[in-house]
Each structure stands twice: as C-alpha cells, then as structure tokens.
A = this chain, B = another copy of it.
Amino acid sequence: MIRVTIWNEFRHEQIEPVKSVYPRGIHSAIAGGIAAEDLEIRCATLDEPEHGLTDALLNTTDVLLWWGHRAHSAVSDEVVAKIRTRVLRGMGLIVLHSGHNSKIFSAMLGSSCSLRWRQVGEKERLWVAAPSHPIARGVPQTFALEHEEMYGEPFGIPDDGKIIFMSWFQGGDVFRSGVTFQRGSGRIFYFQPGHETFPTYYDKNVLKVISNAVRWAAPAEGEFAWDCPKCEPAEPIHPR
C-alpha cells in the first residue's frame, strides 16, 4: 500500500471561475482520478493548521503531491524544511504546474525554476521523450490538451533533470513538461499541465501520468533505513 498525500493550496477554488471547474478542489479531483486499491490517499490544504501537514501525516507519507500558485509565500518555512528532510530520506515528491515556483521545489533543486508563461488557453500537445520510463507506461506517445496555460523555455532547472515529456504549444513555444530528479533517496517529478481554470485534472492521460508517477516515486522497502556508519578508520593509519 502506497500512502499518498495530495497537498493543494485550495484558494482559487473558493471563487469563480475555478469553483465551477473544481467544486471540491483540485486535490479532490486528483484523488478521485487516481484512486486505486494499492493507494491510500489523504489530502491536505494550505489553510488547515500546519497546512494540514502534521508530523503524523508527513511521517506516514510515501509520496507527496503539491499544487500551489498564488500563495507560495504563505507556506511556512518550517513545513518546507520538514518536507525537504523527508524527501532526502526517501519520500517521493510530485510537483504540479505552478508548483514550479513553490518553496519546496526551489528548496529541492536550488535553481531558479523560472520559465516563460502565457495564459490565453491555447492548445498544448505533449510528447513522450523517454518511452521506456515507468512514468510513460501506457501513455500514448502524444496527446493534446485543448486549453492550457503556456509554460515556455528556458526552464531554469538543473542539468540532471531526466526528460520524460516535452510539450508543444499552439502559440509557438516548447517546454520540458515532465522531468524527474533525485535528491538524496527521494525521487522528484515535475509535471507541467494543470492550470486551475481548465479541466486538466479530469483528463485520462494526465491522470495516467500522475498515477504512474506515484508508483515510480514511492520509496522501496527499506529506503528510509539508512544510517551513517561510525567513522573509525577501516584501514590502519600509521604514526608519522
């Protein structure tokens, strides 16, 4: 059983036009869309105490999903530090859409994570760039989203990003829209689609990608168990 926590800022959804698209919140749409027998899914949102991310919850989370946008700065540094520590020890982290500017994504990667953007609802077309990667399994080689926010290159990520998806936008832009990283024992996946005014998180291909990513990012048995050994010399150090 993989213990999944979906974190959502959950502020856009309080008012229209987002309210109509995600009446119970983006987190609920994703939770419903990826529900499966091997997943135990919990949700947490910004305005709960500790943003809903209590130690009890974090310490039993195998994979954390993150959707945030206009309130990145409202997330407490203390919670970010806890998440980062847990990722380094093995928890998976899936950062969605505008989460590229979140404190936690920046804290994990160090780079600017900046990009170009345009919100006119143009068509996006995604391509699988790493067809044998587990996150691409069962996903068509290309699929389109009729309306999405454009995120364009240059994308300010480190060079160890493994490219799983690349996107084409109607207005002429391109983007590395699905990229994996590893930090410590933790696997990280960034996935670009998901603007709050579009029904992206009901799209079957988007949900398939997220479902795959959850399984890929979950730590294997024993990955949290690493302890640093004593530093007694293993070889003799002669007097000199």
- Does any Cβ of B come within 8 Å of A204's Cβ? no
The contact of A229 among B110, B116, B132, B240, by CB within 8 Å, is B116
The contact of A237 among B129, B156, B163, B171, by CB within 8 Å, is B171
Asked if B153 and A220 sit within 8 Å, CB to CB, the answer is no
The interface residues of chain B lying within 8 Å CB-to-CB of A158 are 158, 160, 181-183
> Which of A35-43, A52-60, A144-152 faces chain B?
A144-152
* Contacts A107-B107, A132-B223 known; 19 new A-B pairs at CB < 8 A: A107-B110, A110-B183, A112-B183, A118-B231, A118-B233, A120-B237, A122-B237, A128-B153, A131-B226, A132-B184, A141-B229, A146-B240, A153-B166, A158-B182, A159-B162, A168-B235, A170-B233, A172-B233, A172-B235
Asked if B237 and A90 sit within 8 Å, CB to CB, the answer is no
Nearest B residue (CB) for A184: B112
Given contacts A154-B129, A170-B237, A173-B234, contact A116 B162 (CB under 8 A): no
Nearest Cβ on chain B to A198's Cβ, whole angstroms: 13
The copy count of this chain in the complex is 4
Asked if A125 and B235 sit within 8 Å, CB to CB, the answer is yes
Which of A162, A174, A184 is the most central at the interface, judged by chain B CB atoms within 10 Å of its CB? A174
A152-193 Cβ-contact flags toward B at 8 Å (1 or 0): 111110111011001111111110100001111100000000
Nearest B residue (CB) for A231: B118
- Does any Cβ of B come within 8 Å of A20's Cβ? no
Nearest Cβ on chain B to A145's Cβ, whole angstroms: 13
The interface residues of chain B lying within 8 Å CB-to-CB of A168 are 168-169, 172-174, 235
The contact of A108 among B110, B134, B152, B185, by CB within 8 Å, is B110
The interface residues of chain B lying within 8 Å CB-to-CB of A223 are 132
Alpha-carbon distance A57/B118, docked complex (angstroms): 36
The interface residues of chain B lying within 8 Å CB-to-CB of A76 are none
- Does any Cβ of B come within 8 Å of A139's Cβ? no
- Does any Cβ of B come within 8 Å of A2's Cβ? no
Alpha-carbon distance A127/B173, docked complex (angstroms): 8
Nearest Cβ on chain B to A118's Cβ, whole angstroms: 4
24 inter-chain pairs at a CB distance below 8 angstroms, sorted by A residue, are A108-B110, A110-B183, A111-B184, A114-B228, A116-B228, A116-B229, A123-B240, A125-B172, A127-B153, A129-B153, A130-B154, A132-B185, A137-B220, A137-B222, A142-B229, A144-B234, A158-B183, A159-B160, A159-B162, A159-B182, A168-B169, A168-B173, A170-B237, A171-B236
